[in-house]
Structure 1
């Protein structure tokens, strides 16, 4: 009897890790850099990050790739493949953006095309690089590991075919890679489990009363439907929004206005994290809204979304004053040209999101970093 019990116990112990792994939620991160959002997903115990694909947006794709590689070294997760993606938007360009500004006015943020702020701002002035400029320095140091030889669109297609109905795509930059994947393989979107997209803007209002929040409100105070990720590649955003996803969750600008990467939050995360991550987090610029972190948070804990709307969504790709703007319709009002129904997050519980971020960083404390 005792021998039988011991054998049963050993079987349970042997099977438990495999069962836990089988229950892990598979995700691919498609983004233009590396930050707290990535760390949240890397440190979540029930998440299997299949890979990180990079794209031009806030920075050129080659610089984004270097940032991700170095971030994974710091996080001690060099097992995760980094797959370079699109350097250029499908149609938009720096010259086209300059022409647009001459016709319709200055953009608050232009990402890789940004050379200076229109007016003084607390946020640091970005350094301007060309798309072919080599990455010779990063604040966190250059990586020693190399990216995959595969390209992002092919990797995305291969993963959803390998794990049909299981892979979440979390996109927090321009949607160029996803649009290319969908055009290469019409089954791409329908084979994924879901798309979570940080992009677009409905009708945001400033919530926090401080200078940084006021400065970030410049982007939407006179143009509430404009948001950078969609504006950088509107054609890609429209292609992806019309693709046959099983489920779409959109995190627009709106819920981010009640959040901030405050010095206090960074200090809490630094105190909780292991030494290497603590140094990395401690060097981050404070007071940015938690755009991407909301997307990761809603994936990890959907109850963080305190108000959502079911809307049909598309993005304006007609060159004009509203180029790149988010379009939305209540069910029944959409033009029915392929728009997909999406769960759009309007507000989040900022306090609980912060607590989640801190608790996830605590997972790194025992890894000997």
Structure 2
């Protein structure tokens, strides 16, 4: 059975490469052509709507990986989110269910040795201390609970997310941006299957890692998510869920990498007032946004917004970045170096976003969601 699966995978990759060739030449977008993007996330929400609503963006597909939610629950969210946006023309691709090596049992063992994690995503059973947020909806990987916004009627693509991403960067060499706002398992698998994958993409924009986030606004409920950074400033969930995958991806030869760590998120929040503004912006999303739990930072929204409008970035720096994949107290922590100090083990230079224009970010989100986009044909 395993041999048959490997044979099927090899045939699928062969079809991809024979159809489009192993192209390595850089090719700039034609003038006025929409920017092509693939979203790889562990859920679906405002960040994806920002990209779908932007007139100069061509969303090729939405890949879903386990992280905050199990993959299949995230797939259901993505399908329903696309239905609400009248964009069922965009395929939803199923990514990895489990990290490369990390697991729930390993995480429980780590906590017994080194202390409790603030957030564990799909493995989260309860909050360690009282919070403004509701209890996590813990369940098994193959369970898809009913969605508050209604269950989707459309289906996901039968093509695996990893093969889809490989196929698209070969089809459009140098033109496809990957926006990754969840764990990097899918991207690591794509890079291991096809070593030319990263180099064929236009760029990688990711939300992950942390350097030294600050509690810049104590009036926000979202500041609860920054309490971990007081003692563990280099720990962040997307890296921590699959450290080995993140390290593989960050050492791949991308043409350009833009990193949005947790740092700028501690100045942001989906407050009740901001959610009301968003709900009023567009009736297509109003019901979902009215039911959305407040008190969370704008993690993924920052990544999508600064890619759409880099002027929202108020401070950034060039760093080499990697992830600690040794199973110890620093497992999953962000590693970074100023140029010249990196160990030179294929770490890549990244543009790391440290702060953003929060008011401008909020207005950008409102403006884009306000657009009335006709249903795709």
Structure 1 length as normaliser, TM-score?
0.92
1:348 to 333, 356, 359: 356
Q: CA deviation at 1:213?
A: 3.3
The equivalent of 2:180 in structure 1 is: 171
**Given the superposition, is the C-alpha separation of residues 282 and 366 from structure 1 closer, same or farther in structure 2, using an over 3 Å criterion?**
farther
- 1:367 positional shift: 6.5
Structure 1 residue 219 displacement after superposition: 2.3
Distance in 1 of aligned mates of 2:201 and 2:41: 17
For structure 2, the residue ranges without an aligned partner over 5 or more in a row are: 1-28
Matching residue of 1:15? none
Shift of 1:344: 0.1
Q: For residue 17 of structure 2, what is the aligned residue in structure 1?
A: none
The answer to whether the 8 A contact 2:323-2:332 is kept is yes
Q: Which secondary structure does the structure 2 equivalent of 1:168 belong to?
A: strand
Counterpart CA distance in 2 for 1:207 and 1:284 is 24
Work out whether residues 32 and 54 of structure 1, in 8 Å CA contact, stay in contact via their aligned partners in 2. Answer: yes
Q: Secondary structure at the match of 2:335?
A: strand
Aligned to 1:93: 103
Preserved contact between residue 206 and residue 213 of structure 1 (Cα < 8 Å): no
Could you give the per-residue CA deviations for residues 238-288 of structure 1, whole angstroms, max 9, x where no partner exists?
000000000000000001111111222212222121x22111222211121
2:130 to 98, 120, 124: 120
* Range 189-198 or range 255-264, more displaced: 255-264
- CA displacement at 1:20 relative to structure 2: 9.7
> Which residue in the other structure is 1:39 paired with?
49
Q: Does 1:50 align with 2:51?
A: no
Aligned equivalents of 1:99, 1:170: Cα separation in 2: 32
Residue 307 of structure 1 corresponds to which residue in structure 2?
315
Give, in whole Å, the separation in 1 of the partners of 2:274 and 2:288.
Answer: 14
Whole-Å separation in 1 of the counterparts to 2:63 and 2:220: 34
Verify: 1:75 aligned to 2:85, yes or no: yes
Give me the CA root mean square deviation: 1.6
Mapping 1:263-342, distance limit 5 Å:
263-273=272-282, 275-342=283-350
Aligned to 1:9: none
Deviates more, 1:220-229 or 1:282-291: 282-291
- Of structures 1 and 2, the larger Rg is shown by 1
* 1:5 aligned residue: none
Q: Using the alignment, how far apart are the partners of 1:270 and 1:136 within structure 2?
A: 24
TM-score (structure 2 length as normaliser):
0.90
Q: Pick closer, same or farther for the CA change 1:245–1:365 going to 2, 3 Å.
A: closer
Aligned length: 348
Q: 2:142 aligns with which of 124, 132, 146?
A: 132
Judge conservation of contact 2:132–2:221 (CA < 8 Å) in 1. yes
Q: What is the SS of the residue equivalent to 1:217?
A: helix
Sort the Cα spacing of 1:20 and 1:270 in 2 relative to 1 into closer, same or farther, 3 A.
farther
CA contact 1:57–1:111 (8 Å) conserved in 2: yes
8 A contact 1:136–1:142 mirrored in 2: no
Instruction: Give unmatched runs, 5+ long, in structure 1.
Output: 1-18
3-state DSSP of counterpart to 1:264: helix
